[in-house]
């Protein structure tokens, strides 16, 4: 079994709104926000980066079953609060398969 972070639609919306309010660089515009029909949303990649002199997390979120992904910047505390779920090898590969979004800006 493998583990990935997974969130529901209200969590994705709340994290995105906090990211926008905080002035973080990577978040989802209203036109990029997926519908609730695609939940759960898996985090298939993340990196630690510096933002305003402190550590921050830039994570890749799988938005659709078709594999669309987007970067979303969150605090380390917000990232740590996203629960991890155990996945079968097949489900894990499906979540990782979309790959990483284009190079980070």
Cα angle value 43/46/50 (rounded, 5°): 140
**What residues contact residue 46 under an 8 Å CB cut-off, 6+ apart?**
5, 57, 58, 59, 60, 79
Print pLDDT tens along the chain (105 aa): 789 999 999 999 999 999 999 999 999 988 888 877 778 899 999 999 989 899 999 999 988 877 788 999 999 999 999 999 998 887 777 777 765 555 665
Torsional sign, CA 55, 80, 91, 11: negative
* Alpha carbon 19 to its chain's center: 12
Specify the number of domains making up the chain: 1
Asked if residue 101 is part of any domain, the answer here is: no
Q: Name the DSSP letter for residue 12.
A: H
Asked if residue 102 is part of any domain, the answer here is: no
Asked if residue 105 is part of any domain, the answer here is: no
Asked if residue 81 is part of any domain, the answer here is: yes
What's the rounded Cα separation, in Å, for the pair 17 and 3?
26
- The model's pTM is 0.85
Asked if residue 104 is part of any domain, the answer here is: no
Domain with 12 in it: 2-96
Give me the numbers of helices (H) and strands (E) for the chain, helices first please. 3, 5
**Secondary structure (H, E, C), 79-96:** HHHCCEEEECHHHHHHHH
């Amino acid at each position: 079994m493998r583990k990935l972070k997974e969130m529901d639609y209200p969590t994705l919306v709340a994290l995105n709104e906090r990211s926008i309010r905080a002035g973080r660089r990577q978040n989802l515009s209203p036109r990029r926000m997926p519908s609730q029909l695609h939940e759960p949303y898996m985090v298939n990649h993340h990196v630690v980066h510096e933002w305003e002199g402190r550590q921050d997390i830039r994570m890749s979120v799988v938005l659709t079953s078709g594999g669309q992904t987007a970067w979303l910047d969150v605090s380390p505390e917000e990232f740590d609060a996203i629960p991890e779920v155990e996945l079968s090898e097949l489900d894990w590969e499906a979540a990782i398969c979309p790959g990483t979004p284009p190079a980070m800006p």
